[in-house]
Amino acid sequence: MASEIYYRTVADLGGMLARREISSEELVCALLARKEAVDGRVKAFNSLDAESALTEARASDARRAAGQARGPLDGIPIGMKDVIAVTGQPLTASSRMLANFISPYDATVTVRLRAAGAIPWGRLNLDEFAMGSSTENSATQTTLNPWDLSRVPGGSSGGSAAALAAGAAVATLGSDTGGSIRQPAAFCGLVGLKPTYGLVSRYGLVAFASSLDQIGPFARTVEDAAIVLRAIAGHDVHDSTSFRAEVPDYRAELPQRRGPWRLGIPKEYFGAGLDPEVAAAVAKAVAYYQGLGCTIKEVSLPHTEYGVGAYYIIATAECSSNLARFDGIRYGHRAKSATDAVDLYFRSRAEGFGPEVKRRIILGTYVLSSGYYDAFYLRAQKVRTLIRQDFLNAFHEVDAILTPTAPTPAFRVGEKAANPLAMYLCDVYTIGVNLAGLPGISVPCGFTSGGLPVGLQLIGQPFQEAELLAIARAYESGHEWHTRRPAL
């Protein structure tokens, strides 16, 4: 078995398992050894049930020996962000509020991964309740970027990105509310896919902002992302926002969709605040597509400047509503020194939530309060409609839109911790996709002079993931950025 089996792709490993070149148990053991070697420095995992993973690996090997393998994911460990429910495992959302909570059920994505034979692989760190862009808001630990341990891996799905980049996982799941898959993917040199809202069930996902949240995969390659997406996508009766969309074989369609495509460059995304090295890497990617015969066209998304404001009103309003359930009475952290029920409620929430979560609850409660609802929340929803219409108008002229994923490469730990607005602006290029409910993918498109990864974001039309993945694969297949590994 190759010494770096943990850096193989899902597609490669699926083939090796099918040919009986390795066993799932051997793969899990290799990943356990890798986690033991690197996670003390990277700090991506909140927990990992090794015995459960080994038991499921042996079951996969037995299925394969009996000729009952379930497909390309059978026996493959898939890392799980610690907001996605897995029966019998911790579900902490990296918060003191849920520090001792064990999930009594599986999320729909977990059920579907198990049905495909995949193995849930640990509980991966995040910004508390998925609120942040650096994984510094976690109540458990600060995850570090494997490419430079003095820098952040992005957020909120920083653990999911860092574990994969470090070779302690072969694919992972995250959640994306305003860029929380795509931005960490860019910072860690990975592929990160945020599907169309409603394509992947949110049942079993700890809710942050229900009209924005979406589960999606981190992978080393576009092909791997396609494999995982097919396994988790599809309608779910447990999620009222789940859409009855056809789920194609995304992997099989990759070579069938060859372009050339019409690609849009939004002029609003290339202004002040964009790092010159990021801009240069994205410009080279645009030129590459042009060399493939694609039509490059400047488009306008005129309401982009209002996106951050609208997002942080809508997201915090929904956060305030969703987190009201954590009251110290039914479940979650309970204060020990309360004098009555009201005191218990206040003390439990004060002790259980961290500063960023409290900040967003307060802001969300304010914008929903009497006298301010129309002035803030209702107006933000109207702006959201305008932003979505901007994208739909652009798609009359182009097949997909190309942008930077993040305005800068990974920043240093603590660099933005004291400035919430600077942290919020890290998502300036990604939040529009969530507000509009569109699919977006980040793929590696280069490195800075300091050796930090840069991400290219591709934005697609609703439920056109197959086309979006093909466009991303067209770039990836002509470059080797995704094959580089950090020197841990």
- Give catalytic residue positions: 81, 156, 180
Long-range (24+ apart) CB contacts under 8 A made by 138-145 are 138/94, 139/94, 139/95, 139/96, 139/99, 139/354, 140/46, 140/92, 140/94, 141/43, 141/46, 142/43, 142/413, 143/42, 143/43, 143/44, 144/41, 144/42, 144/43, 144/413, 145/187, 145/188, 145/410
Q: How far is CA 233 from the centre of its chain?
A: 15
Cβ contact 170:31 at 8 Å: yes
* Rounded Cα distance, 70 and 55, in Å: 17
Helix, strand, coil shares, percent, the chain, to 5: 45, 15, 45
Kindly give the residue spans of alpha helices, DSSP state H, lying in 190-292.
Answer: 222-232, 250-253, 276-291
DSSP class of residue 417 equals T
Q: Classify residue 374 as exposed, middle or buried by CB count within 10 Å of its CB (0-12, 13-18, 19+).
A: exposed
- Coil, helix or strand at residue 466: helix
Neighbours of 293 (CB within 10 A): 10
Give me the residue label for tokens 């803030």: 376
Q: Kindly calculate the radius of gyration of the chain based on its CA atoms and give it in whole angstroms.
A: 21
